[in-house]
Amino acid sequence: MRASEARIVLVTAGDEQQAQSIARRLVDDHLAACVNIVGPIRSVYRWGDAVEDEPEFLLLIKTRASLLSRVERRVIELHSYEIPEVLAIAPSGGSAAYMRWLFESTAQKPKRAQARATRRRG
C-alpha cells in the first residue's frame, strides 16, 4: 500500500467525551485504523460576525483515501457541531509496515466471518 492512498483527517470536538465517542465508532466500524485524541487545545475562529476562542479536542484520524466520504458522513452523523471540521491531508510518505497495518485495519471483515465471531461470543 502506498502512502498516497492514505489520509489523515482532522476533526475537532467540543469535549473529550464526544471526541472519544467519535474515535471509538470510526475504529469499531473499520473506517479508521487509529484515532489520536489531542487536547485540550485552544481554537480561535470566526463564527458569524464574532471571533470565538474555545477549548476543543483534536482528532487525528488515520484512514484510506477510498473511505474518506464514509468517514465524513459518519463524523457529521455523530457530531454535535452544525458544521464539523473534516479536513483531509494526504501524507507524502510513511513506513511500509505502518501503511500495511493501516490498510489491514480498515479492511471490512467478510460478513460470514463477522457472523461466526458473533456466534462464538454469544
Separation of alpha carbons 99 and 5, rounded Å: 9
Confidence at 120, pLDDT banded by 50, 70, 90: low
Beta pairing partners, 57: 13
Position 74 confidence tier, pLDDT thresholds 50, 70, 90: very high
SS3 88: strand
The length of the chain in residues reads 122
What whole-number distance in Å separates Cα of residue 100 and Cα of residue 24? 21
Given a cut of 70, whether residue 10 has pLDDT beyond it is: yes
Q: Which domain holds residue 59?
A: 3-121
Q: How many CB atoms lie within 10 A of CB 19?
A: 22
Q: Which among 39, 41, 43 has a CA at the least distance from the CA of 52?
A: 43
Q: Which residue has the higher pLDDT, 119 or 15?
A: 15
What nine digits make up the cell of 35? Answer: 484515532
CATH number at residue 109: 3.30.70.120
Each residue of 26-59: pLDDT tens digit? 999 999 999 999 999 999 999 999 999 999 999 9
Quote the pLDDT of residue 110.
55
Q: Are 13 and 59 in contact (CB under 8 A)?
A: yes
| pLDDT value for 111 | 55
Residue-wise pLDDT tens digits, 77-105 = 999 999 999 999 999 999 999 999 999 99
What average pLDDT does range 57-71 have in this prediction? 97
In this prediction, what percent of the chain has a pLDDT beyond 70?
Answer: 88
Domain count, the chain: 1
